[in-house]
Amino acid sequence: MNEQVTKISARKDEHLRICLEEDVTSGIPTGFDQVHLQVSTLPEINFDSIDLSSTVLGKKLDAPILISSMTGGSGKTKHFNKLLAQAANEFNIAMGVGSQRAALVHEGLEETFSIARKEAPNALLFANIGVAQLNEGFGVTECQRAVDMLEADALIIHLNSLQEVLQPEGNHDFTQLLTKIEKMTRSLHVPVIAKEVGCGIDPQTARSLVNAGVRGIDVAGVGGTSWAAVEMYRQTDPSRKALCQTYVGWGIPTVMALQGIEGLPEDILKISSGGLQNGLDVAKSIALGADLAGFARKFIIAANAGYKTLAESIELILLELKVAMFLSGAGDLKSLRSKLEKEREDEY
């Protein structure tokens, strides 16, 4: 393993350690506390008959939950991807892996990602590459390799400009990337999803990405893990630490980001992530137009305690979602989309 790959793998382990041990939340409200579902005092539905299933990119899911992209690229992170994939398989929910850059540079690390398909043979799986790598010589061949590595159903291209500009090893060249993304959408054998990593995607960029052929938008808004905070804990220079601290809360809160993509075509996959806490936040996300709701650090922390804790965490989210639907009188996800409370004084 060459020095570059060793450094990348070490950084993956360091990111994982920081996310498990430190408070890396942005401290900015997601906005879900200001979103209200309609209350149906007499729901007229059977709680036990509520249907959480949906079809995403042609695959039937038992619930609209995404184990969001977080890790991979080292021996230690392979263990986490194994547990997360086992959960995706058991609950028939979607899963994304972390950036596959390290495995594309060093084939010996491929198993830290391919373990996901091995453990979840039928799950909806998303491959992942950073947009900055498209300016480092990564092209269609490398992106297709990332997809093939885990027989993925789609490729996530993550947009992490803040993280890149703050981390010591970051790539600061973000020129001509939309053109390169468009090339990927036209050349790859699977759909491309654009994902932020905790700063939210603005409406104009979302529209530009869709016009470039992107089939899905994961808003990944402010309110959850802040990669500025993660990078702050990696810094040793006081001025660089201060710079990271300044931008811990930078970006668009999750609810605002979701509202910003409301007008995109119906066939565009819309993913809500960034600080979701529970199944009620999932229900609110669906009511706001999302097709999937993602959790990353929450599941990593649970997995760190063992598979049983991870499974219990997912079970609770599903129960919370089901209760929210029952109390709103929504028997399925389609019905839930019409249950957003509108402020109309004449009703009271």
pLDDT single digits (tens) 190-231: 999 999 999 999 999 999 999 999 999 999 999 999 999 999
On the question of pLDDT at 134 being above 90, the answer is: yes
Q: Are 81 and 69 in contact (CB under 8 A)?
A: no
The CA distance from 220 to 26, in Å, is 12
Domains of the chain: 3-341 (3.20.20.70)
Supply the mean pLDDT for the chain. 96
Main-chain phi, psi angles of 106, to 5 degrees: -135, 110
Asked if 146 contacts 184 with a C-beta cutoff of 8 angstroms, the reply is no
Is 50 exceeded by the pLDDT of residue 347?
Answer: no
Beta bridge partner(s), residue 158: 130, 195
Top-confidence residue, 2 or 251: 251
What is the DSSP-derived secondary structure letter of residue 347? G
For residues 162 and 228, is the Cβ–Cβ distance under 8 A? Answer: yes
% the chain with pLDDT above 90: 92
Alpha-carbon distance 266 to 64, whole Å?
16
Whole-prediction pTM value? 0.96
For residues 294 and 269, the answer to whether their CB atoms sit within 8 Å is no
List Cα–Cα distances, 336 to 21, 51, 212, 284, in angstroms: 36, 11, 30, 9
Q: Are 199 and 251 in contact (CB under 8 A)?
A: yes
Question: For position 343, what pLDDT does the model report?
Answer: 57
The Cα 344–Cα 337 span in angstroms is 18
Q: State the number of CA atoms in the 13 A half-sphere of 337 facing the CB.
A: 10
| pLDDT value of residue 1 | 57
Burial of 320 (0-12, 13-18, 19+ CB in 10 A): middle
